[in-house]
């Protein structure tokens, strides 16, 4: 009987030694029996919305890159375009004792003060839309002026000296990305009097809104349209659909984002739906790369990283 008790006790001890227990400590996760350098870090991701395919791609890049690193765990939140909800999301993430916050602000002005408060406690990486001031660890975002400039230069190339009529479909009004893309586009057209922007439509980055706005415009205006420049590929596709459904003729459709996948901008260029798209890197991969550096105590982290775009064209349409 004593012999059996000894065997049972040994089995229990061996079982306990092989069992990993996760304990919260200092905002991260530690595993009993692991070395100190194998700390698990918890990252909170607050996304402005997941209605935009570009933002879905951003989250996918973050998730894909994070999975390469066993010491990282991520919690994703979606504000669905509501700034107040994003503030609540950020508060929820802070309640989980996250080690680092990655935030893509829905409204930089409103969220800025809260981000500044959080930065006093933990590192913060701001994606896409910058905030006023410098109260964050690093900003990672696209060069929106360059994006607009590349689109404008492409339009100048396909229209030539003959010129033509252009429709611009903008994202949300009064946002830096919209304003900078427009500024770059119009700077590229400077001095070309034959290239005329006939109308500026606003579609809040949404495909269905772009299709509706384009149909409304075509119902009251019958001028020939040579080029449609939309601030993202989803809106460019919406405008293309409107032109097709109303049999309004052919126009070069130029978008922005250039994402991979069957429904991405690159595929639409290959199929001839879009004549061109300008890539807009999401920064998701870079966010995890710099998060790791920050969490592991690497010094000399740059305060901003500006991601360069590139032009993808359907050469057969030029």
Q: What is the CATH number of the domain that holds 223?
A: 3.40.50.2300
pLDDT tens readout for residues 144-174: 999 999 999 999 999 998 999 999 999 988 7
Q: How confident is the model at residue 37 (pLDDT cuts 50, 70, 90)?
A: low
The domain of 250 spans 144-281+312-317
Q: What is the mean pLDDT of residues 298-316?
A: 91
Q: Which runs of E-coded beta strand occur in the chain? A: 22-25, 28-31, 41-47, 72-78, 100-103, 124-127, 138-142, 164-170, 195-202, 227-230, 252-257, 276-279, 304-307, 311-313
Contact 238, 248 (CB under 8 A): no
Residue 4 belongs to a domain: no
Average pLDDT, integer, range 78-103: 97
Rounded Cα distance, 224 and 270, in Å: 25
Q: For a pLDDT cut of 90, what percent of the chain falls above it?
A: 77
What's the whole-number mean pLDDT along residues 97-126?
Answer: 96
Average pLDDT, integer, range 204-223: 95
Same domain flag for 224 and 206: yes
Q: Kindly report, residue by residue over 248-272, the tens digit of the pLDDT.
A: 999 999 999 999 888 899 999 999 9
Asked if residue 223 and residue 123 are part of one domain, the reply reads no
Q: Which of 4-13, 105-114, 225-234, 255-264 has the lowest mean pLDDT?
A: 4-13
- Of the given ranges (37-41, 70-74, 232-236), which has the lowest mean pLDDT? 37-41
The torsion of the CA quartet 275, 276, 282, 283, rounded to 10 degrees, works out to 160
Q: How many CB atoms lie within 10 A of CB 70?
A: 8
Task: Tell whether 275 and 154 lie within a shared domain.
Answer: yes
- The mean pLDDT value of the chain amounts to 88
Q: What is the pLDDT of residue 34?
A: 43
Same domain, 154 and 131: no
Q: What CA–CA distance (Å, rounded) separates 44 from 77? A: 8
- 207 and 116 within one domain: no
Residue 77 has what pLDDT? Answer: 97
Q: What Å distances lie between residue 265 and 79, 164, 177, 274, 275, CA to CA? A: 25, 24, 18, 8, 10
CA distance 246 to 259: 27
Q: Report whether pLDDT(78) > 90.
A: yes
Mean pLDDT in residue range 290-296: 97
Count the domains in the chain: 2
Asked whether residue 14 is domain-assigned, the answer is no
- pTM confidence score: 0.83
* 96 and 192 in a common domain: no
Instruction: Check pLDDT > 90 for residue 3.
Output: no
107 pLDDT more than 60: yes
- Our CA angle for 7, 9, 13, nearest 5°, is 115
Residues 94 and 165 in one domain: no
216 belongs to a structural domain: yes
270 in a structural domain: yes
Q: What is the pLDDT of residue 259?
A: 92
**259 in a domain, yes or no?**
yes
Q: Which of 295, 296, 293, 292 is nearest to 67 (CA)?
A: 292
Q: Identify whether 296 is part of a domain.
A: yes
The pLDDT, as a whole number, for residue 191 is 87
Helices (H), 96-206: 108-119, 144-159, 176-189
> Residue 74: beta bridge partners?
43
Residues 268 and 184 in one domain: yes
**How many CA atoms lie within 13 Å of 237's alpha carbon, on the beta-carbon side?**
20
Asked if the structure places residue 251 within a domain, the reply is yes
In terms of domains, do 277 and 155 share one?
yes
Higher pLDDT pick, 307 / 29: 307
How far is 298 from 256, CA to CA, in rounded Å? 34
Decide: 41 and 73 in contact? Cβ < 8 Å.
yes
Residues 127 and 169 in one domain: no
pLDDT of 29 higher than 90? no
How would residue 23 be classed by pLDDT, with cut points 50, 70 and 90? very low
Report the range out of 31-45, 50-64, 89-103, 167-181 with the highest average pLDDT. 89-103
Whether 242 maps to a domain, the answer reads yes
- Same domain (yes/no): 227, 292: no
Domain co-membership, 190 together with 253: yes
> Diameter of the chain by CA atoms?
101
- Cβ atoms < 10 Å from Cβ of 37: 7
């Amino acid at each position: 009987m004593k012999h059996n008790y000894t065997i049972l006790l040994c089995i229990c001890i061996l079982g306990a030694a092989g069992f990993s227990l996760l304990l919260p400590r200092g905002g991260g996760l530690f595993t009993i029996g692991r070395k100190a350098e194998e700390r698990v870090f918890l990252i909170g991701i607050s996304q402005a919305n997941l209605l935009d395919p570009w933002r879905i791609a951003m989250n996918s890049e973050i998730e894909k890159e994070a999975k390469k690193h066993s010491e990282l765990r991520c919690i994703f939140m979606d504000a669905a375009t509501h700034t107040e909800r994003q503030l609540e999301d950020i508060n929820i993430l802070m309640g989980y004792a996250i080690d680092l916050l990655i935030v893509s602000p829905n409204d930089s002005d409103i969220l800025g003060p809260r981000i500044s408060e959080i930065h006093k406690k933990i590192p913060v990486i701001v994606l896409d839309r910058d905030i006023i001031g410098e109260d964050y660890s690093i900003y990672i975002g696209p060069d929106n002026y360059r994006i607009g400039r590349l689109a404008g230069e492409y339009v100048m190339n396909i229209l030539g000296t003959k010129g033509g009529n252009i429709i611009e479909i903008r994202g949300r009004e009064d946002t830096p990305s919209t304003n900078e893309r427009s500024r770059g586009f119009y700077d590229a057209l400077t001095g070309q009097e034959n290239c005329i922007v006939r109308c500026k439509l606003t579609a809040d980055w949404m495909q269905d809104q772009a299709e509706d706005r384009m149909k409304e415009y075509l119902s009251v205006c019958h001028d020939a349209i040579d080029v449609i420049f939309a601030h993202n590929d989803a809106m460019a596709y919406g405008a293309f659909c409107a032109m097709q459904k109303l049999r309004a003729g052919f126009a070069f459709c130029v978008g922005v984002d250039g994402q991979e996948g069957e429904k991405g901008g690159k595929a639409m260029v290959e199929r001839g739906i879009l004549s061109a798209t300008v890539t807009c890197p999401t920064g998701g991969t870079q966010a995890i790369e710099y998060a790791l550096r920050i969490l592991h105590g690497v010094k000399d982290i740059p305060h901003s990283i500006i991601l360069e775009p590139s032009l993808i064209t359907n050469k057969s349409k030029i």
